[in-house]
Structure 1
Amino acid sequence: MMGPVLAACLLIILSTAWISQANGATCKKDGGVCTCNDQTKNVDCSSKGLTAIPSNIPVDTDRLVLNYNKLRELEPKAFHNLKELTYLNLDTNQLQTLPAGVFDELKNLETLWIQQNQLQALPAGVFDQLVELDELYLSKNQLKSLPPRVFDSLTKLTYLSLGYNELQRLPDGVFDKLTLLEKLYLYNNQLQSLPKGVFDKLTELKTLEMRNNQLRRVPEGAFDYLSNLSLVSLNDNPWDCSCNDILYLSKWIREKKGTVSNIEAAGCEEGGKAVLEITEEEAAEDCVYPNTTTAIPTTIITTLASSNDDDIPELPVPQENFQKFLGYQEPDHLPTQPQCLMSISGYLGLMMSLVLTSAAILYVIHFLKKA
């Protein structure tokens, strides 16, 4: 009777091996692509050409590195089993969006890198559960706007990078909960104005980078609460020094000169004069700046309302735009040669497991009949 027992044990072992093969291994020691360190709980999957997050990442992983891959999207529950993560790096991929709730289980996360992707927007509440987050890197994306209160839960944040995006404005109160923030990077955007009081709660701020935007003025009192500021960049903005709105900024720069680095670099759009040198006589005009919202002018609305259908010209629609309207998308690229080889090796392993499993089943049947 020992024969059937041994065969049954063999069948169980082979079945377990087949399941493991089907799920895919993560670490190199198990035949996977990532490097795992059991002592430090680090998993490094960087620069592997990955188009999906590997399966079976150890649940006790502390640091997960996935930068320099080809990730285009994330599953909504991609990280839900990795509740011990304190560091996650998704830098330099091709992410175009973040699914809602993707970070909801990462309540211990302290550092999150998502810079140098293709994000154009952030889902509302995407960071709401990251209550321990200390550093957030969102630079070098294509963000055109921020959801209201998107950072409200990040009350422990000290470092926020939003440089090299396409932001034209900031929501009211967007930084109000970031009372521990020390470094804020907003450079290389398209900011045209600042909401009143946008920095009022940032009393611990030491570094503020706003160079290379489209700022012409700042609200009265914009920097009054930044008593710990040691570095600020305001250069490469088209500061309008002909309007008396600039006088607040000019006076503030003169007062902070010598205590705040790089503060003197702010220059007027015309004439090349430094903002700090502007006098009341030079900035005598009481300028009114246009509202930079996306509202349609009432004249256009009136014209459209009074027009007959026959008066509206028929505009040709390019074929590619029509396809986008219908939801048409080009098929994904074909697998690369290494990916094909990985797929073939996976199929061979699966077939071998099936052959061995079948042999074990036949072996069990043979002994059962014999018994």
Structure 2
Amino acid sequence: MMGPVLAACLLIILSTAWISQANGATCKKDGGVCTCNDNTKSVDCSYKELTAIPSNIPTDTDRLVLNYNKLRELEPKAFHHLNKLTYLNLQFNKLQTLPAGVFDQLKNLETLWLRENQLKSLPSGIFDKLTKITYLDLNTNKLQSLPEGVFDNLAKLTRLDLQINQLRSVPNGAFDYLSNIKTLWLQSNPWDCSCKDILYLRDWINDNKEVTGAQDAACGDQQSKAVLDVTEEEAAEDCVYPNTTTAIPTTIITTLASSNDDDIPELPVPQENFQKFLGYQEPDHLPTQPQCLMSISGYLGLMMSLVLTSAAILYVIHFLKKA
């Protein structure tokens, strides 16, 4: 009777191993695609053409590198089990948006790289829980605006990189709570120096001359005039910024609104142009499954598990027939 019992135990062990692999291994040593270092608690998943965050990343991971992949979106709870992370690198991907709350559990995070993505906007409160962060990199995205208070909880932040975006202004008080900021990169944005909104940024730069990088902010696409040198006379317009790259002075809006409707010719507006004005975009992709099991070693591991499981089943059947 010991034969069937041993065979049954073997079957259970092999089945458990197969299920574990089927759920998605992370580290190469387990058949996954990422390189894991147990000593430094780091996981490197760079240059793997991933379209989703690998599953089963160890919960004690301190450093997670996901740069140079094809990530277009993140699951809202993608990092919720990784509350020990101090370093997260997501640069050089294709992220177009960030789900609200995606970083909420990363309360020990000190460094966050989001450089070289395609972010057009940020959800309100996206960084509120990152109270220990010291370095935030949003360089080379497509940000057209910043939400009110987006940096208010980042009192320990020392370096903030916002250069090479499409920012024309920042909300009033945007940088007031950055009490430890040492470097703030703002250059290569088309700052609109004809609008009154720019006066907050001008005054903040002037009041914080010890912060390196901020003085390099310049007006417009030509970057010919420093924001620091803008006068009240030059920044006279009350501007409204829709979700486009063009500012519309409110004086124009008021004039149009007060005009007689009979005097305004009716112009056909193509539907796609109207959608673009509202910031609407058709989705150009569908979510894809994690690619953790795409390595050859992962497939070989699965095949071996299947073969051993089949052998164990036949072994059990053989002994049951003899019993």
Whether 1:211 aligns to 2:216 is: yes
Whether 1:297 aligns to 2:256 is: no
- Output the amino acid matched with 1:291: D
Q: C-alpha displacement at 1:51, in angstroms?
A: 1.4
- Residue 47 to residue 298, structure 1, CA distance change in 2 (3 Å): same
Deviates more, 1:312-321 or 1:172-181: 312-321
How far apart are the structure 2 equivalents of 1:205 and 1:328? 44
Q: C-alpha displacement at 1:318, in angstroms?
A: 5.8
Alignment of 1:137-216 (within 5 A): 137-192=137-192, 193-195=198-200, 199=204, 205-211=210-216, 213-214=218-219
Aligned residue for 1:367? 319
Deviates more, 1:52-61 or 1:187-196: 187-196
Partner secondary structure for residue 194 of structure 1: helix
Quick one: percent identity of the two aligned structures?
57
Q: 1:33·1:48 contact (CA, 8 Å) conserved in 2?
A: yes
How far apart are the structure 1 equivalents of 2:162 and 2:100? 20
- How many residue pairs get aligned? The number is 305
Q: 2:128·2:152 contact (CA, 8 Å) conserved in 1?
A: yes
Aligned residue for 2:124? 124
- Residue 143 to residue 333, structure 1, CA distance change in 2 (3 Å): same
Aligned residue for 1:357? 309
- Output the amino acid matched with 2:126: V
- Residue 89 to residue 10, structure 1, CA distance change in 2 (3 Å): same
Q: 2:205·2:214 contact (CA, 8 Å) conserved in 1?
A: no
**Structure exhibiting the larger radius of gyration computed from Cα positions:** 1
Q: 2:11·2:312 contact (CA, 8 Å) conserved in 1?
A: yes
Unaligned 5+ segments in structure 1 are 216-234, 247-285
- Deviations 1:59-105 (CA, angstroms, capped at 9, x unpaired): 11111111111111111111111111111111111100011111111
Q: 2:215·2:228 contact (CA, 8 Å) conserved in 1?
A: no
Aligned residue for 1:108? 108
**Larger RCO (CA within 8 A; separation ≥ 6):** 2
- Deviations 1:225-265 (CA, angstroms, capped at 9, x unpaired): xxxxxxxxxx7326798x9x38xxxxxxxxxxxxxxxxxxx
Q: C-alpha displacement at 1:5, in angstroms?
A: 1.3
- The structure 1 segments of at least 4 consecutive aligned residues displaced by more than 6 Å after TM superposition are 238-241, 319-322, 324-327
How far apart are the structure 2 equivalents of 1:208 and 1:325? 31
Aligned residue for 2:195? none
TM-score by length of 1: 0.71
Partner secondary structure for residue 213 of structure 2: strand
- Please provide the CA RMSD for this pair: 3.7
Q: 2:75·2:99 contact (CA, 8 Å) conserved in 1?
A: yes
Aligned residue for 1:260? none
Q: C-alpha displacement at 1:314, in angstroms?
A: 3.5
How far apart are the structure 2 equivalents of 1:24 and 1:210? 48
Q: C-alpha displacement at 1:173, in angstroms?
A: 0.7
How far apart are the structure 2 equivalents of 1:107 and 1:325? 32
Q: C-alpha displacement at 1:364, in angstroms?
A: 2.8
How far apart are the structure 1 equivalents of 2:279 and 2:219? 32
How far apart are the structure 1 equivalents of 2:228 and 2:216? 15
